[in-house]
Amino acid sequence: MQNPILNPPQKQHQHGDYSLSEVSLANRNSGTLLETLQHDITPIGAHYLLNHFDVPYVSNASDWQVTICGQVDQPLSRSLEEIIRHATQNSLARTHRVTLECAGNGRATLEPRWPSQPWQVEAVGTSDWFGMPLKYLLQETQLASSAKEVVFYGADKGVDAGTIHHFARSLSLADAMHDDVMLVWQMNDQALLPQHGFPLRLIVPGWYGMASVKWLNKIEVIDHAFTGHQQTGTYVYRKDRGDNGTPVTSIRVKSLLVPPGIPDWSSRKRLVKPGIVPLVGRAWSGNGVPIVKVEWYRDSEGSDDQWHIATLEPSKSKYAWSKWTANWHSTPGKHILSCRATDACGNTQPLTPAWDIAGFGNNAVQQVEVWCEAF
Amino acid sequence: MQNPILNPPQKQHQHGDYSLSEVSLANRNSGTLLETLQHDITPIGAHYLLNHFDVPYVSNASDWQVTICGQVDQPLSRSLEEIIRHATQNSLARTHRVTLECAGNGRATLEPRWPSQPWQVEAVGTSDWFGMPLKYLLQETQLASSAKEVVFYGADKGVDAGTIHHFARSLSLADAMHDDVMLVWQMNDQALLPQHGFPLRLIVPGWYGMASVKWLNKIEVIDHAFTGHQQTGTYVYRKDRGDNGTPVTSIRVKSLLVPPGIPDWSSRKRLVKPGIVPLVGRAWSGNGVPIVKVEWYRDSEGSDDQWHIATLEPSKSKYAWSKWTANWHSTPGKHILSCRATDACGNTQPLTPAWDIAGFGNNAVQQVEVWCEAF
């Protein structure tokens, strides 16, 4: 078969299957550049971004207030300045290295496809988040014994499915009081970027990104289950429209490889020379469960292969991805490369996506088309 | 007519016209979030990104070398460290605030559509770039009298249209020696981000972004016209395939408005309340030509309007965009908002795009769909 990278068909004006509104979302919501998986920490600005509404314009962080209300003895308001002072004076500030992934990552590869951000595999990133465990702020109030959930509101506002709302998500009281759930004001030793929640956000390690509410300005303690649109109208696993669904929570085990060799500009297919090709990638799971195995696979037309064990560097941080490496002895022709992670609970990645109507939680193995040829 | 934002149709699985490869490119190449046009300087990481190939992995900037070769008395190699020392010791370092725009911005709105990054309007951004005029590096060599063009090579390598090459672009010797063409190692008071050319890049103010070569490691002085793929195989204005084309060079006059009100998540249509709606936006042109007028227009079904003059704040920097503001008295119903800039040379924006086979230089006016309703 002729290598289509070096022998491309004449360019044609384009037709396809994706809608203009999906393309609009993809132009706004950027994915991690897969080659930056080489870095332990995703470079600033290359971390994936999924914002439902507009990024709020905040000219002065010192004015930023967070209100705690609802099932508390009395509502409390704290400025970001006060929170930072409290954290500093009481030695409560800390850094967590956390891998975040969008719950909709992989949606674009499902058929049929839900109208939303058309992620393929790139909605993942790792940062050092600096702040204070949320529980220390909650402990400044007296929670009522009826307290059941804690709702986090962002300053971002818009419409989804006809419902006007601020982005808001809840956690159970136990989850909200977990040591590792953080109020965060720095990312990689800098103030948060506007698009990543400046000046204050939540980080819920081990969960898909929707839980880590940005531009946090209101915390409401409630005595019932939160039914806001972002809690029950979306971010639920559903087989079909009639399904009430199961909440999307922690990240499913997953791995990616840095596409080897050099890319074709528009198709992103890869070209490598015959010989030893170093492979490198990352693997992660939810809830701080460690990765215990990464395998890789070469699907080459006309020849069988088996899953090969990759070399795994255990993550130094509970919630951050692990690095893996392997060497592939490439031979001329077309190959599809894949990798598969397994975590300490025995969870592993499926070869084909589990069906979900809105494309959530797709952790099927990545497939990278590579053409090997002397050049 | 019923407002489709507040009365949305039931979501359907998606069909459309765009290809998977366009969506892949859109997920990699991020546009500026239009609401960040509120900022004089585009926030770090929200500046548009168009990278043809992979971002090179550079672990150690102090190793970075630039070679000057070709029509010079003898080839010269300088480390980034030496360049910075030379700039510092001789007080040659300076900052330019520059608005960059991708030449393909607006491509996705053309019909038929070229297979490439499907930008709508968002491929623009403004940064403070810090470095040294390129001419001071060139002046460290003795250029041959035959020198005609200067070719800039990036470390990024890949394939386009079957041609393996490093990204490379040329400037005429006169353009390369222009005072304002810069060798740059900082962006907004930080080291360059990897995806923006770390550790060293070119900035050619007033030109579309393709001229500002990233990851610059080789400068070749030649005695003829450069015919590399990125110079003659693309980035040329062509009406059809038979057309030899005209090189894409400086930025065409353009303006954008920050979409007012709040967005619908997936359609990005806007919702505003009746009453005074402040409008704000940016306008820019190429080659440092100032903007002298911005107008805005409201296309409301069943009622005529005229172009209104907006309030223009002249840019304080020759190559940076100008801010404009206006007040719109909104009334219930559907509206399409547009703006139109005029520069000091009398260039203005067309209402519909000029045809170009690959969708370059589209500076037609933006159209923002806004629904006004009490809510």
- Provide the pLDDT confidence category of residue B172 given band limits of 50, 70 and 90: very high
Kindly state the tokens that stand for B325: 């503001």
**Contacts B265 to A, Cβ<8 Å:** 52-53, 158-160
Give residue-wise pLDDT tens across range A207-225. 999 999 999 999 999 999 9
| CATH number for the domain that contains residue A353 | 2.60.40.650
* Cα(B24)–Cα(B26) distance, integer angstroms: 5
Rounded to a whole number, what is the distance in Å from the CA of A307 to chain B's nearest CA?
27
Residue of A nearest to B112 (CA): A13
Domains: count for chain B: 2
Q: Does residue A333 carry a pLDDT above 70?
A: yes
Pick from B28, B44, B116: CB nearest A193? B44
Q: Are residues B272 and B199 in the same domain?
A: no
pLDDT at B14: 67
- Are residues A159 and A308 located together in one domain of the fold? no
Residues B106 and B138 reside in one and the same domain: yes
**Are the Cβ atoms of B193 and A119 closer than 8 angstroms?**
no
Give the Cα separation of B280 and B277 in Å (integer).
Answer: 10
Does residue A2 form part of some domain? Answer: no
What is the reported pLDDT for A305? 83
Assess if residue A266 is contained within a domain.
yes
CB contact under 8 Å between B115 and A12, yes or no, is yes
pLDDT at B15 over 90: no
User: Is the pLDDT reported for residue A267 higher than 80?
Assistant: yes
Q: How far apart are the first and last CA of chain A?
A: 16
Q: Which residues of B touch A265 (CB under 8 A)?
A: 52-53, 158-160
Query: Strands B65-70 and B76-79: what pairing?
Result: antiparallel
Residue A188 in contact with residue A128, Cβ under 8 Å?
yes
Residue pLDDT, tens place only, A2-18 = 878 888 877 777 667 89
ipTM value for the complex: 0.95
d(CA A25, CA B13): 16
Q: Are A363 and A334 in contact (CB under 8 A)?
A: no
Residues A240 and A258 occupy one common structural domain: no
pLDDT of residue A10: 76
CB A322 within 8 A of CB A315: yes
- Contact yes or no for B264 and A195 at CB 8 A: no
φ and ψ at B253, to 5 degrees? -55, 140
Q: What is the pLDDT of residue A14?
A: 67
Q: Where are the beta strands (DSSP E) in B2-122?
A: 65-70, 76-79, 94-101
Residue B107: give its domain's CATH number: 3.90.420.10
Per-residue model confidence as pLDDT tens digits over A155-195: 999 999 999 999 999 999 999 999 999 999 999 999 999 99
Which chain A residues contact residue B12 at CB under 8 A? 115
pLDDT tens, A100-155? Answer: 999 999 999 998 889 899 999 999 999 999 999 999 999 999 999 999 999 999 99
Of the candidates A16, A45, A157, the beta carbon closest to that of B19 is on: A16
CA dihedral A161, A166, A169, A173 (to 10 degrees): -140
Q: Which residues of B touch A13 (CB under 8 A)?
A: 112-115
Pick from A26, A33, A161: CB nearest B55: A33
Residues A159, B195: C-beta atoms closer than 8 Å: no
Asked if the Cβ–Cβ distance from B17 to A19 is below 8 Å, we say: yes
Helix (H/G/I), strand (E/B), else coil: B194: helix
What is the distance between the alpha carbons of residues B108 and B111, in angstroms, rounded to a whole number? 8
For B264, which of A38, A159, A196 is closest by C-beta distance? A159
CB-count exposure of residue A346 (10 Å: 0-12, 13-18, 19+): exposed
Give a yes or no: residue A12 inside a domain. Answer: no
Predicted pLDDT at A76: 95
CA distance A76 to chain B (A): 28
Domain co-membership, B147 together with B199: yes
Report if residue B233 sits inside a domain: yes
CA distance to partner chain B, nearest, from residue A316 (Å): 20
Percentage of the residues of chain A whose pLDDT score is greater than 70: 99
Give A-chain residues touching B28 at CB under 8 angstroms: 30-31, 33, 122, 268
Residues 6+ apart with CB under 8 A from A343: A253, A285, A289, A290, A291, A292
CA distance to partner chain A, nearest, from residue B112 (Å): 6
How high is the pLDDT of residue B305?
83
B151 and B275 within one domain: no
- Closest to A52 (Cα-Cα) out of A229, A206, A202: A229
Both A60 and A136 in one domain: the answer is: yes
Q: Give the tens place of pLDDT for each residue, B286-317.
A: 999 999 999 999 999 877 789 999 999 989 89
Same domain, A359 and A212: no
HEC string of B203-249 equals: ECCCECHHHCCCCEEEEEEECCCCCCHHHHHCCEECCCCCCCCEECC
CA distance A330 to chain B (A): 18
Q: At what angle do helices B20-28 and A20-28 cross, to 10 degrees?
A: 20
**What b/e string do you get for B32-42 counting C-beta neighbours within 10 Å, with b at 16 or more?**
bbbbbbbbbbb
pLDDT of amino acid B343: 98
pLDDT mean over B189-196? 97
Cβ pair A181, A253 in contact under 8 A: no
Give the residue from chain B lying closest to A116, CA to CA: B266
Give residue A264's pLDDT band: very low, low, confident or very high (50, 70, 90): very high
Among all residues of chain B, which has the CA nearest to that of A272?
Answer: B158
CB-based contact A20 B18, cutoff 8 Å: yes
Query: Closest-CA residue in chain A for B7?
Result: A162
pLDDT tens digits along A236-262: 999 998 888 999 999 999 999 999 999
Tell me the pLDDT tens digit for each residue of B210-269.
999 999 999 999 999 999 999 999 999 999 988 889 999 999 999 999 999 999 998 999
- Let me know if residue B352 belongs to a domain: yes
Residue of B nearest to A260 (CA): B54
Same domain, B51 and B143: yes
B25 and A266 within 8 Å at the Cβ level: the answer is: yes
Determine the 3-state secondary structure of A222 from DSSP. Answer: strand
A155 and A25 in one domain? yes
**Looking at residue B66, what is its pLDDT?**
98
Residues on chain B touching A27 (C-beta within 8 angstroms): 26, 30-31, 118-120, 122
* Domain stops at, among B218, B247, B276: B247
> pTM (2 decimals)?
0.96
Average pLDDT over residues B34-39: 97
Same-domain check for residues B198 and B309: no
CB contact under 8 A, B114 and A27: no
Q: Beta-strand (E) ranges in B30-123?
A: 65-70, 76-79, 94-101
Q: Is the domain of A224 the same as that of A266?
A: no
CB–CB of A46 and B113 under 8 A? no
CA atoms within 13 A on the CB side of B287: 10
How high is the pLDDT of residue B7? 82
State how far the Cα of B57 lies from the Cα of B53, in Å rounded to an integer.
12
CB contact under 8 A, A43 and B194: yes
Instruction: Identify from A2, A11, A27, A167 which residue to disrupt to test chain B contact, counting B C-beta atoms within 10 A and taking the largest count.
Output: A27
Of A232, A247, A262, the one marking the end of a domain is A247
CA B292 – CA B315 distance, rounded (Å): 10
Query: Is B128 inside any structural domain?
Result: yes
Domain boundary among B217, B247, B277: B247
Inter-chain CB proximity A44 and B43 less than 8 Å: no
Q: Is A272 helix (H, G, I), strand (E, B) or coil?
A: strand
Alpha carbon distances (Å) from B98 to A220, B286, B338: 44, 11, 24
**Please, are residues B295 and B307 in contact by the beta-carbon 8 Å criterion?**
yes
Cis amide bond preceding A8, omega within 30: no
First to last CA, chain B: 16
Residues of B in contact with A118 (CB under 8 A): 23, 27
User: Could you tell me the residue range of the domain that residue A222 belongs to?
Assistant: 20-247
Burial B64-103 (b: 16+ CB within 10 A, else e): bebebbbbbeeebebebeebbebbeeeebbebbbbbbbbb
Q: Does A89 fall in a domain? A: yes
Q: Where are the alpha helices (DSSP H) in chain A?
A: 20-28, 80-89, 134-138, 173-176
Q: Are the CB atoms for A339 and A297 separated by under 8 Å?
A: yes
Does B18 contact A13 at a Cβ distance shorter than 8 Å?
A: no
Name the residue facing B19 among A18, A21, A120 (closest C-beta).
Answer: A18
Within a domain: B276: yes
